[in-house]
């Protein structure tokens, strides 16, 4: 996935082959903020302008602007997986939220589980 970031906003960029345009959309917010350009050089400028316009519009109407990612993650899993994850968290001495955060960090190669593996491999 092609992405851009600016002022805590993340945008996904796709190519529209019908209109021969690069089309971006800010992800992680309910408001539909999009932008486009026919070339890469101007795409980042269009993204920054879209973010600034979104922030200005929110200020004008008295709305708190959303951020691309709030830090809250809700996922649906089957009950058996939920039970097994809760037991694994309990065995590790963590609550389920702490355990899930550590598991996500480990899955993307960051966090204490990654560091622990790195030390063990040394």
Count of the separate structural domains present in the chain? 2
> Exposed, middle or buried: residue 9 (CB in 10 Å: 0-12, 13-18, 19+)?
buried
Q: Does residue 40 sit within a domain? A: yes
Picking from 15, 30, 61, the residue at the C-terminal end of a domain is 61
* DSSP states of 53-86: HHHHHHHHHTPPPP-S--S-------HHHHHHHH
Query: Per-residue confidence at 33, pLDDT binned at 50, 70, 90?
Result: very high
Residues 6 and 55 in one domain: yes
Q: Does residue 45 sit within a domain? A: yes
Picking from 61, 90, 112, the residue at the C-terminal end of a domain is 61
Q: Which domain holds residue 85?
A: 79-121
Residues 53 and 89 in one domain: no
Encode pLDDT of 46-101 as tens digits.
999 999 999 999 999 999 999 887 667 888 999 999 999 999 999 999 999 889 98
44 vs 70 pLDDT, higher one = 44
pTM, rounded to two decimals:
0.60
């Amino acid at each position: 996935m092609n992405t851009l970031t600016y002022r805590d906003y993340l945008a996904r960029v796709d190519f529209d082959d019908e209109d021969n345009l690069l089309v971006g959309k800010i992800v992680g917010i309910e408001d539909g903020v999009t932008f486009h350009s026919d070339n890469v050089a101007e795409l980042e400028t269009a993204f920054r302008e879209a973010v600034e316009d979104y922030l200005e519009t929110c200020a004008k109407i008295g709305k708190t602007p959303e951020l691309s990612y709030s830090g809250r993650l809700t996922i649906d899993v089957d009950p058996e997986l939920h039970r097994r994850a809760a037991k694994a968290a309990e065995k590790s001495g963590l609550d389920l939220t702490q355990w899930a955060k550590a598991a996500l960090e480990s899955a993307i190669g960051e966090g204490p589980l990654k560091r622990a593996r790195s030390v063990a491999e040394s």
